[in-house]
Chains A and B, each alone.
Chain A
């Protein structure tokens, strides 16, 4: 089902994500998805996440769909030019994939093939525009498609705690104009900042799912503060992680923090998107502590 139908029904939408393996044996990833069965509305599949080469997102989405999950196919502009992107979008339509998340993508220099050619033939905005054109029955060059045009629900991303925020906002507006129908955000740890962001984008009238990344350790929090754009883990959360080393190591602290954040964010947004980064087994506990299942 397209996520926009759930938003239209007024449902608080919950998504999580899986990252395909470095290799072709996909079983473990599918097992991770099994943990989420019945607990989330859809599962994002990342596209060579962090510019690290992996099994493909499209094939993973296909496997998920086959097993009755609702996949969100993430597509970045880093690795494919406009021909390959359009082609993969048509492939997705044939596999019955209904939800796309269209992103610019990290630079290859951040990943494990630093010498790769950065493609970025399109960017997130022109990629959304391209899917819209396909939906209208022609390709980006204006050539007519044969048969039924594909139909999707188009997602995009925004970084609500970025500083400065304004450049993010104008790009967000551009994505909406191009055809974005919902947003998933970068990880949020500062509720007040998120609330201010929601205030600013209120009149865009578009469903927004707050991003949640489970905090695994003090080191991870500090790393994100130094290296990840638009993510700031406040000191009080770092203190909380420091307090009980065993509890943090077992994931309990991360679960509690994530569940608390969800409860605090829920009144302000239309859904949440969990990014467990391998900690899928913690997702059910988070959702139940947050009162969502």
Chain B
């Protein structure tokens, strides 16, 4: 869909090394750019380092919500066996999968697959003139420093009117943002959504961790 690059290896390894991981790669817009070779090299390294790759799926267009939902149901068994899920796609792919996984787990009464187990494997970079194909309500700001692992799979840049990175501004009233979004559509406060999501999956601790700063040299 968009141009992506592998996240820093140290970041990825600190998240998954020694765990059972489910790998999901999206080749949907691979013709645009997905760092396939680097991903494969990384997976080889992982294999040799004692991390168990439960399954390595290559899929098309994770951003296609309905299609991805059907496919995820097929992998239920393997997902159950996995401790961490790493998604090599653009930010939309990660957002879609993280949304679906939370729903799937409630439908099929499995142990909940929670988005704290999900990690974006790539940072999505800005690609001039190419705005993505997703017809759904997910938006990736192509910031080059994907924050989705930290915000429960909800993008703080596109879901918050001020693109805040460290929590809500105090301007939300009755769950609504202090300003209307594009075309005057009233939007829900993105940070209240992020908070609720992390509360549901029992990972509010992540929010308190670090002070996040945007790196505009990446976009």
Binding site for B on A (CB under 8 A): 104, 106-107, 109-110, 118, 120-126, 129, 140, 157-159, 162-164, 166-168, 170-171, 173-174, 177-178, 186, 227-230
Contact = CB atoms under 8 A, between A and B. Distances in A.
Given A107-B179, A125-B167, 10 more contacts: A106-B171, A110-B178, A110-B179, A123-B166, A125-B211, A129-B211, A159-B170, A163-B174, A167-B168, A168-B170
B195 A167 contact: yes
B204 interface: yes
A126 B213 contact: yes
A110 B173 CA distance: 14
B9 interface: no
Interface in B165-198: 165-174, 178-180, 191-192, 195
A126 B170 contact: no
A129 B169 CA distance: 16
Nearest to B170: A159
Interface centre among B161, B170, B195, B204 (most CB of A within 10 A): B170
29 contacts: A107-B178, A107-B179, A109-B179, A109-B180, A110-B178, A120-B164, A123-B164, A124-B166, A124-B169, A125-B167, A126-B166, A126-B213, A158-B170, A163-B174, A164-B192, A166-B195, A166-B199, A168-B168, A170-B167, A170-B207, A171-B168, A171-B170, A174-B211, A227-B173, A229-B170, A229-B171, A229-B172, A229-B173, A230-B173
Contacts of A140: 213
Interface residues of B, number: 29
Chain A interface, >50% SS class: mixed
B178 A106 contact: yes
Nearest to A130: B213
A143 B163 CA distance: 26
Contacts of B214: 121
A50 to B, nearest CB: 11
Nearest to A172: B167
Contacts of B212: 126
A107 B170 contact: no
Contacts of A122: 213
B205 to A, nearest CB: 10
B162 interface: yes
Contact of A174 (B162, B171, B173, B208): B208
Nearest to B204: A170
Interface of B: 161-174, 178-180, 191-192, 195, 199, 204, 207-208, 211-214, 216
A178 B166 CA distance: 11
Contacts of A186: 170
A177 B208 contact: yes
Contacts of A170: 167, 195, 204, 207-208
A104 B169 contact: yes
Given A104-B169, A164-B192, A118 B162 contact: yes
Interface centre among A104, A123, A227, A230 (most CB of B within 10 A): A123
A233 B172 CA distance: 17
B211 A167 contact: no
Contacts of B208: 170, 173-174, 177
A120 B162 contact: yes
A178 B191 CA distance: 19
Contacts of A120: 162-164
Contacts of B173: 227-230
